[in-house]
Amino acid sequence: MKIDWHFPPARTGFFGVIDKLIGPGATKAEKKLQLYIPFMAGFAVVAYAYLNAFGWGWGQYLIAGLITVDIVGGIITNATSSAKRWFHRKGQGFKQHMGFISIHFVQLTMLSWAFLDFDVFWIASVGGYMMLASAAILLTPLYLQRPIALMMYALAIVLTTYQFKALPDLTWFLPLFYLKLLLSHVLREEPYRPEHE
């Protein structure tokens, strides 16, 4: 198994946008993982809610389904070697990573609106920890980032269990939300590549 930080140029047009989301040069196996599993998860969440008569409105089904696809897809995508070498390439530093992470306030706002009667304190506390933990990891020397990230994620699980209000019928969301950002995205790891590449 080899490590290769070099990536091909992003394509142009629509496929160039995809390249910038998943990392140029993503392998077929990486693409399949990122495509099929998130959509299966989104369908499963919607089907489970419907079959168990959660009483959701159409907007709740839509938001839950889309956010599930994004969270599960983000966990997988950000952990791939192609994404690691793209999102941690030269020029991608603290500002760029925090910008990406801050976009997730949109998800928190949508979920709060759909499931918590727009609880602004929930958005601020969950999002505040997201920003604080991410900054702590990114500002740590590289050789200590993995243990700090795991500590920040462990604390996130404790806060999710005992402090942050759970989303009705979506108790899995916060643990996976923090997994996507604190471990899958923020950590810079070696981009292992297939031998035949």
Confidence at residue 197, expressed as pLDDT on a 0 to 100 scale: 80
Confidence at residue 89, expressed as pLDDT on a 0 to 100 scale: 97
CB 49 within 8 A of CB 37: no
Mean pLDDT over each residue of the chain, to the nearest integer: 97
The DSSP 8-state label assigned to residue 80 in this structure reads: S
Length reported for the chain: 197
User: Would you say the pTM of this structure is higher than 0.85?
Assistant: yes
Task: Give pLDDT tens digits for 49-80.
Answer: 999 999 999 999 999 999 999 999 999 999 99
Confidence of residue 195 (pLDDT cuts 50, 70, 90): confident
Q: Which among 176, 164, 101, 162 is positioned nearest to 137, based on CA atoms?
A: 101
3: enclosing H helix or E strand: strand 2-3
Confidence at residue 1, expressed as pLDDT on a 0 to 100 scale: 80
CB 179 within 8 A of CB 153: yes
Q: How many degrees, rounded to 5, is the angle at CA 42 between CA 159 and CA 59?
A: 85
Task: Give pLDDT tens digits for 112-153.
Answer: 999 999 999 999 999 999 999 999 999 999 999 999 999 999
d(CA 131, CA 143): 21
